[in-house]
Every structure is written in structure tokens, then in C-alpha cells.
């Protein structure tokens, strides 16, 4: 699979404090890549570096086969960005906002109606943005980010402070954009979200990449060396993950209901690796 992003020995400091330290990773085209860590870990800084908003102290950044240079806009037509600072004009309608952004990005006006329909905004297109619910405002920001049909979409904490129902809607939008071929670089401190959405994840802690892999592979890697057997009579047995121990447990007279491997969730793995909570 072709590379979409390559980060090589990336270091970034602010006023003598290191935000990223010799960071290395590769994002493949067509995947949802989760960049995970607590607030202050360096996630947003990484997005700003990858989108040319900041310059690194050292290291190399390649996006869609091109080296990233701060302030050079050659990549902007191929990438979309949604962050907590993404905005729109409150006094303009939904449609007016998208028509304006279409002109700025030199996108066909016919694309505006396509996006309004795709993101469920068509019935709200004549409503002023300030009158939208929080979920609809998030949809409008998504619409702005994908209006020009980017090959790569950066999403920085896209469901932060959203209620569960709205978060579920955002997850559906992310999956749909990915199905249509968009590579997605997702930062979050919500490990449940990452486990549900991402093809691969990376754990970032104090500027260092401490682990990377598919959610399932990581859960298996850090699983306990035991399995739990539950029987209809209420008996629960936990035995070592060895054929002889499991065979012995299966001799229990009760009817076996389930066998569970003791796989941790991503939050538990992150805590185990770093000793840090995600808040």
C-alpha cells in the first residue's frame, strides 16, 4: 500500500520545551490512522507541522509524496483540516458559507449541493449558522473540510464535547468519507473511539511514539496469559492460556457458556505503557 504521510525524526520545541522528540511514523493511503494521547501530548502540534502551519526544529515531513514546507500552499488543494479552531460565518446561512468556501478553494458550485445532501444539511441550508445545533455545526465544519474532495483529511478531536448521539453521527461521516477513498489522520484521547474507527493506531506520550499497530493486534499483544470460562451454574474459572489447563477446566460438570481471553482495551494498554491517564 502506498504511503500518504511519512514522518522522519521529527522534533519540535517551544521556548525550550520539547513537544515532539525524534518522531517517526508512516500513514498508508486509504486507512484511518489514529494518533492517540492525552491533552498536551503533541497531537495538534503534529497536525500543524504536517499541514505547513509550523516549522520543525529538525526532521522530514512528506505528505502525498511532497515535502512539507511551512507556508507553502501547494498541498492545500489536496488536504482537508478540521480542528477546534475551524470556523464559519455565524451570520451567513449554511449554503452561503459553503458557496463562499467553494469560491475560495476554486471548487465548482455544483459540489455545494452534493455536500449539503451528503452530510444531511440540505434541509438546513437556508438557516443561519448561528441557529444550528452543535451537531449540525460540526456537520458544517465537516462540509467545509471535504468540499474540495481532499485526498487526505486531518481530524483533530472531532467529537470532543459532543453528546453520544452526535458523536455517533460524526463516526458515521468519518466511515463514509473513508469508504469513498479519503485517508484520515485522526487525533483523539478517546480510546473507545479509536478502537471503533481506526485501522491502525499510534500512542503518543510526551512527544514520543511509544507503540503502534492495529487495535486488535495491540490488544492481543498485551493480553493476559489466561482465559476465563463461565458456566451456566454460575461457576467462573480463570486458567492459564495453555492447552492442558484449558482441557482440565473443560472437565467441569456444568454447561459451558463462554470462553473469554483477557484482552485489555486501548485505554488500559496506554496506561500500562505510560503510567498516565488520558485526561
Q: Which three cell numbers stand for residue 217?
A: 493486534
Given a cut of 80, whether residue 157 has pLDDT beyond it is: yes
- The CATH number of the domain where 204 resides is what? 3.40.50.300
- Domain carrying residue 232: 224-262
Residues 165 and 254 in one domain: no
Residue 226: pLDDT band by 50, 70, 90 thresholds?
Answer: confident
Residues 193 and 239 in one domain: no
Residues 187 and 248 in one domain: no
Given a cut of 80, whether residue 275 has pLDDT beyond it is: no
Distance CA 186, CA 202 (A): 10
Residue 245, helix vs strand vs coil: helix
List pLDDT tens digits, range 139-148. Answer: 899 899 989 9
Given a cut of 60, whether residue 18 has pLDDT beyond it is: yes
**Cβ(20)–Cβ(207) below 8 Å:** yes
pLDDT of residue 276: 62
Q: What is the total count of domains within the chain? A: 2
- Write down the number of H helices and E strands in the chain: 9, 13
pLDDT of residue 121: 92
Sign of the Cα pseudo-torsion (187, 190, 193, 196, in order): positive
Residue 214: pLDDT band by 50, 70, 90 thresholds?
Answer: very high
DSSP string, 154-223: EEESTTTT--HHHHHHHHHHHHHHHHTT-EEEEEES-HHHHHHH-SEEEEEETTEEEEEE-HHHHHHHT-
Residues 121 and 244 in one domain: no
- 278, part of any domain: no
pLDDT of residue 277: 62
Residues 172 and 73 in one domain: yes
Distance CA 130, CA 137 (A): 8
User: Does pTM top 0.75 for this prediction?
Assistant: yes
Count how many residues are written for the chain.
Answer: 279
List pLDDT tens digits, range 60-88. Answer: 999 999 999 887 767 888 999 988 767 88
Residue 16: pLDDT band by 50, 70, 90 thresholds?
Answer: confident
Residue 273, helix vs strand vs coil: helix
Nearest alpha carbon to residue 12 among 52, 61, 49, 67: 49
Q: How far apart are the first and last CA of the chain?
A: 34
Which backbone phi and psi does 91 adopt, to 5 degrees?
-85, -5
Residues 157 and 229 in one domain: no
- 268, part of any domain: no
**Cβ(163)–Cβ(191) below 8 Å:** no
> How buried is 231 (Cβ within 10 angstroms: 0-12 exposed, 13-18 middle, 19+ buried)?
middle
β-bridge pairing 152-156 and 79-82: parallel
Amino acid at each position: 500500500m502506498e504511503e500518504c504521510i511519512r514522518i522522519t525524526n521529527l522534533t519540535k520545541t517551544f521556548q525550550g520545551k520539547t513537544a515532539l522528540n525524534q518522531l517517526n511514523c508512516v500513514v498508508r493511503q486509504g486507512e484511518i490512522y489514529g494518533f492517540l494521547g492525552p491533552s498536551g501530548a503533541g497531537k495538534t502540534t503534529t497536525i500543524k507541522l504536517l499541514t505547513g502551519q509550523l516549522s520543525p526544529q529538525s526532521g522530514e515531513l512528506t505528505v502525498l509524496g511532497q515535502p512539507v514546507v511551512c507556508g507553502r500552499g501547494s498541498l492545500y488543494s489536496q488536504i482537508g483540516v478540521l480542528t477546534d479552531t475551524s470556523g464559519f460565518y455565524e451570520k451567513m446561512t449554511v449554503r452561503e458559507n459553503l458557496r463562499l468556501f467553494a469560491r475560495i478553494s476554486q471548487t465548482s458550485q455544483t459540489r455545494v449541493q452534493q455536500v449539503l445532501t451528503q452530510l444531511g444539511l440540505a434541509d438546513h441550508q437556508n438557516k443561519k449558522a448561528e441557529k444550528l445545533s452543535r451537531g449540525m455545526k460540526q456537520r458544517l465544519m465537516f462540509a467545509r473540510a471535504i468540499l474540495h474532495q481532499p485526498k487526505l483529511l486531518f481530524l483533530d478531536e472531532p467529537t470532543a464535547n459532543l453528546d453520544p448521539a452526535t458523536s455517533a453521527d460524526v463516526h458515521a461521516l468519518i466511515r463514509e468519507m473513508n469508504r469513498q477513498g479519503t485517508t484520515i489522520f485522526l487525533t483523539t484521547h478517546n480510546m473507545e473511539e479509536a478502537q471503533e474507527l481506526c485501522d491502525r493506531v499510534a500512542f503518543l506520550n510526551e512527544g514520543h511514539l511509544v507503540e503502534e499497530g492495529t487495535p486488535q493486534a495491540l490488544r492481543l499483544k498485551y493480553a493476559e496469559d489466561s482465559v476465563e470460562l463461565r458456566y451456566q451454574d454460575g461457576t467462573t474459572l480463570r486458567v492459564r492460556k495453555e492447552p492442558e489447563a484449558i482441557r482440565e477446566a473443560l472437565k467441569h460438570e456444568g454447561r459451558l457458556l463462554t470462553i473469554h481471553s483477557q484482552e485489555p482495551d486501548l485505554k488500559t494498554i496506554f496506561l500500562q505503557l505510560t503510567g498516565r491517564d488520558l485526561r
